[in-house]
Chains A and B, each alone.
Chain A
């Protein structure tokens, strides 16, 4: 649940999502769910010329499994905290595995 927990803190931030088919979409992250499906508002498709079917789309539900990258504002990430969260996650996983 680390990534879920992490993305929850990016609510209302502007992110750019690159899908596995190379489409890149910038928008305001409105919500994320446990599958890391992402809801984006006020989307802006980069290279829109190549994707005419997205030309009149204003907000979007993106399935988590097709996301390649999420580019996020660095200032909104607390690295030290994230490191600790990662350690905890690792400890949890190890605990569960046992």
Chain B
């Protein structure tokens, strides 16, 4: 979009000021006058997926998928559905107090699987939280598998109990992990 700054006046203001019939009474000003007199509204393009992803482009990000996977990579491209292309991606596996990195390469992620996308602060990324340490992949993977199956069991139980009370699981039928 051409208008790239929020300092631009809203298009409505400029256009409608021309349309404003001069004979209209001040007391009965419609929305047209509302726009012309009011404070600057933020431009509409600010409220698009594109605007949100723009600042994240070519940045190092952590992408969390709905199945709980965490991918760290550089966002290279996206579209209006938040379908994403990640480059130099590393899958980071967390389990217990351990984590492991698995180099993965390029990812194309369908938007619906995205949970969140966080820009990594390059100054802080190497400060691994003190309670976490890196471990070999196999070890972390085994631990994670165990954790997952435990969680699955407890989730199942919880959902069962909730269902008895009439609650449907929020994300029924699909996993939504962290």
A and B touch in the complex (CB under 8 A): yes
A: which residues have CB within 8 A of B? 4, 8, 11, 19-23, 30-35, 37-39, 43, 48-63, 65-66, 68
**Residue of chain A at shortest CB distance from B78:** A61
- Neighbour of B46 across the interface among A31, A48, A51, CB < 8 A: A31
* With A11-B46, A57-B120 already in contact, 13 other A-B pairs whose C-beta atoms are closer than 8 Å: A8-B47, A30-B52, A31-B51, A33-B52, A49-B129, A50-B178, A52-B99, A55-B128, A56-B121, A60-B117, A60-B119, A61-B116, A65-B112
Establish whether residues A58 and B52, one from each chain, have CB atoms under 8 Å apart when the complex forms: no
Q: Give the bracket for the number of chain B residues in contact with chain A.
A: 35 or more
The one of B47, B112, B116, B119 that contacts A31, using a Cβ cutoff of 8 Å: B47
Q: Roughly how many angstroms separate A11 CA and B114 CA in the complex, as a whole number?
A: 23
Given contacts A19-B116, A53-B70, A61-B117, contact A34 B47 (CB under 8 A): yes
Task: Tell whether, in the assembled complex, residue A63 and residue B114 are in contact, meaning their CB atoms are under 8 Å apart.
Answer: yes
Q: Are B176 and A20 in contact, with the CB atoms below 8 A? A: yes
B156 CB to nearest chain A CB (Å): 16
Chain A interface mostly:
mixed
B124 touches A53 (CB 8 A): no
Q: Note all chain A residues with C-beta closer than 8 A to B56.
A: 61
A33 touches B48 (CB 8 A): yes
- The answer, among B51, B64, B128, for a CB contact under 8 Å with A33, is B51
Question: In the bound complex, what is the Cα–Cα distance between A24 and B176 (angstroms)?
Answer: 15
Find out whether the CB atom of B94 lies under 8 angstroms from the CB atom of A52: yes
Nearest 10 A/B pairs, CB to CB: A57-B118, A56-B124, A39-B52, A61-B117, A56-B125, A58-B121, A60-B118, A21-B178, A53-B70, A33-B49
